[in-house]
Structure 1
Amino acid sequence: MNAVDEVRQVLGGLDPARTAPPCDDSRRRQVLARILSDDCGVGTAKRTVPRRRLVLAAVGAVVMAAAGGGVAVELYRQPEPAHAATPALLTYGPPPTAEPASTRLRRLAAVAARQPMPPRPAGTVEYLESTNWFLNSSISGGRTVSVVVPQRWRSWRTEDDAGRTVKRDLPPIFRSDADRRQWEKWGGRVESSEAVHDYAPGEFHGGRFRGAVPTDAAVLLSWLRAGTSEAQAPVQYLEDMAELVGVRLLNPAQRAAVLALLAELPGITVTGTVTDRAGRTGEAFSITTNAHGLPAQYTVIVDARSGALLGYEEVLTTTAGKLNVTIPAVITYRSYLLAEYAAAPR
């Protein structure tokens, strides 16, 4: 049985990976400024409590969190606010070919496999940067408060899975002074904040994604399932890979493996060509599902020239449940800006 057959038998599925092209500090600042000024809107206020996994709840008290995002439940008796602002939707154009997603992704996997292995200077570690947005929400009675907080993520990882992560939450953007005052009254953050975590060997990123990322699609699927008692929903593998490529530098063979696995993911479709939030052109592939509660579209954007993952987003498609956002609404976005070998932080 070959790798693809094994993948189909177990489940099928997952998402691409990314090694971004190098850029100087000036370029990085320009990209970050453009992303934050053009695409990041925010709504009302709340106090956040960090959580890792995104959960979409149609009813009940809590809602949202995604790697680095947050959830809070507040008991405030206030009038229902206007809908929170969320990042602008991306515009998708026609796909470059009429091929189905599985065929096109296999072609992109072949492109990834042909890329040269990046050089690694002696004494360097994996270094990655991304810019992210996560919707944070609080619900109490008839009151929901949602806000999108932009975030800059940087990480350094050594071969023995030690390293450092730096998460910088940038100031939320308010629609009015009244929103800001209410946010501050409830104890919400209005300035930038930064969290630095150093990890001992074997503990990088909380111990997830340890060791070498597999270069075979079926082995990669098993690697992602390690520690779980049963197969996850297909979209969960896509989400795991979106998290993975934000903290691990993947070589060409590893990128090819995840694209090949994504090609076998049940429900994957072609979304079209798109210019991402950092001004880069890519091809988008999506899964639409209510696996996490609310119907949502989960999309990855792939660079057709390298097979690298450029971005990932989640969009509520038909209903917001208890969330005070206007449908369709972007609730998560990750823009992968840099993946290279660099000196370890001091």
Structure 2
Amino acid sequence: MNDLLGDVLRAADPGTVHRDTPLSERALSELAAYEAAEAAGTRTPAGAHLVHAESRRPLLARRPGRTSAARTEGRPSNRPGTPRRRMGLAAGAMAAFAAVAIFVIALINPGPALASTPPLLELTPVSGTAPTLLTEMAQMQRTQPAAGSTIRAQMWSLNTSIAEDGSIESSVTEPQRSETVFAADGSVHLVLTAAPPFPGQASAGLPKPGTVLVDENFPSGQWEFPAESGPPTNVDEVGAYLAALTEDPHLSDGQTFREIASILSNFPITRAQESALLGYLATLKSITVAGQTTDRLDRTGIVFQARDRSPDFEDRLIVSPKHGQILAAETLYVGSSRTDIASPSVIDYVAWER
């Protein structure tokens, strides 16, 4: 399937669907816009988003002898790519990053019945409530040195496909590292490379760490973050900003985690903007403290969690207790219906090198 067409279908937010399922009205309108752009010989800009199966942004795929809906479950999510015109971001997913026709997602062949997933982070108890800790971290942010104009991150995601008989098959993507440089003239340079396998992951079939998967320059105006500007610096304005960004005034707290991760992956936010995001999270009701951990880049962080997006998933945001910086975001499967992965299992993560 044409990558850009797949991107349009993902943006339509159709959920887990089979190949012959009719497209939604919004999907049809976006497809028409894409075709019009192609006919005009223009490049369709795209916002970068980590796509996740249960965020209802499937990556449709076909395999011989079966109808399947392949679903990239990581932010990554949290993944970079090429720009796309912002057309209906009602579902708004985490992160991962922009994707263009040349964006590479290297998938391995379906693995064994139980897919290999990253180890769960170890948690230790920590005192303090989520509102108190997040408020303290928001205040810390205001005292930190100015942030740079380069976003570096490491990410991984699970890919799930559903066969015609309804059975679930999983593949894994190689861990990846991204570097996104925002130049003063408005241009953006993206480099995506293969990262080392996570502990316990077989390396057979994976590209050698350091292999360049994407190396792309985007002229000014081509890397289109899904908003004219970044988030506000006032806590009271964040809710309206996210509602406008996603076209959804009723975001769950878990989806809010994912939207913030998408912002961090696509826009070089300032300390004041990050402080406002943390301050806004402190006002939400479904966020709790899971504990303290050492993240996948060996940094100490406080894990905040939300399970209100779906009973099958737990969304996490990891924040530094020393600097108030958002370090990482992860999604855990905590349901009981899947046979391809254990419960709980990490199904996507992104860790920003900050």
Report TM bin, short chain.
0.5 to 0.7
- CA apart distance, 1:169: 3.4
**Aligned with 1:250 (options 244, 269, 275):** 269
- CA apart distance, 1:301: 1.0
Work out whether residues 149 and 182 of structure 2, in 8 Å CA contact, stay in contact via their aligned partners in 1: yes
1:64 aligns with 2:72: yes
- CA apart distance, 1:211: 2.8
- Show the counterpart of 1:53: 51
The 3 A distance-change label for structure 1 pair 237 and 115 is same
1:132 aligns with 2:155: yes
Work out whether residues 147 and 172 of structure 1, in 8 Å CA contact, stay in contact via their aligned partners in 2: no
1:334 aligns with 2:332: no
Structure 2 distance, partners of 1:150, 1:287, is 25
- CA apart distance, 1:147: 1.4
Superposition pairs of residues 132-211 of structure 1, within 5 angstroms: 132-140=155-163, 141=165, 142=167, 144-159=169-184, 161-170=186-195, 190=207, 192-204=211-223, 206-211=224-229
Query: SS of the residue aligned with 2:54?
Result: coil
1:256-292 per-position Cα deviation (integer Å, ceiling 9, x unaligned): 101101111231001111111111111111101343x
What stretches of structure 1 of length at least 5 have no aligned partner?
1-49, 119-124, 184-188, 339-346
Work out whether residues 127 and 157 of structure 1, in 8 Å CA contact, stay in contact via their aligned partners in 2: yes
The 3 A distance-change label for structure 1 pair 143 and 198 is same
- Show the counterpart of 1:222: 240
1:128-147 per-position Cα deviation (integer Å, ceiling 9, x unaligned): 21111111222313351321
- CA apart distance, 1:249: 3.1
Work out whether residues 86 and 148 of structure 1, in 8 Å CA contact, stay in contact via their aligned partners in 2: no
1:281 aligns with 2:300: yes
Structure 1 segments, 4+ long, off by >6 Å, are 69-74, 171-177
Equivalent pairs, count: 265
Work out whether residues 128 and 246 of structure 1, in 8 Å CA contact, stay in contact via their aligned partners in 2: yes
Work out whether residues 70 and 159 of structure 2, in 8 Å CA contact, stay in contact via their aligned partners in 1: no
The one-letter amino acid paired with 1:93 is T
What stretches of structure 2 of length at least 5 have no aligned partner?
1-47, 57-67, 80-95, 97-103
The one-letter amino acid paired with 1:230 is D
Structure 1 distance, partners of 2:130, 2:202, is 43
Structure 2 distance, partners of 1:117, 1:175, is 37
Structure 2 distance, partners of 1:228, 1:175, is 35
1:311 aligns with 2:328: yes
The 3 A distance-change label for structure 1 pair 72 and 258 is same
TM-score between the two structures when normalised by the length of structure 2: 0.65
Identity %: 25
Structure 2 distance, partners of 1:226, 1:57, is 18
Structure 1 distance, partners of 2:161, 2:333, is 17
- CA apart distance, 1:149: 2.0
The one-letter amino acid paired with 2:336 is T
Query: SS of the residue aligned with 2:353?
Result: strand
TM-score between the two structures when normalised by the length of structure 1: 0.66
1:265 aligns with 2:292: no
The 3 A distance-change label for structure 1 pair 72 and 137 is farther
The 3 A distance-change label for structure 1 pair 116 and 228 is closer
Higher RCO (Cα < 8 Å, 6 or more apart): 1
- CA apart distance, 1:320: 5.1
The 3 A distance-change label for structure 1 pair 100 and 297 is same
- Show the counterpart of 1:91: 122
- Show the counterpart of 2:231: 213
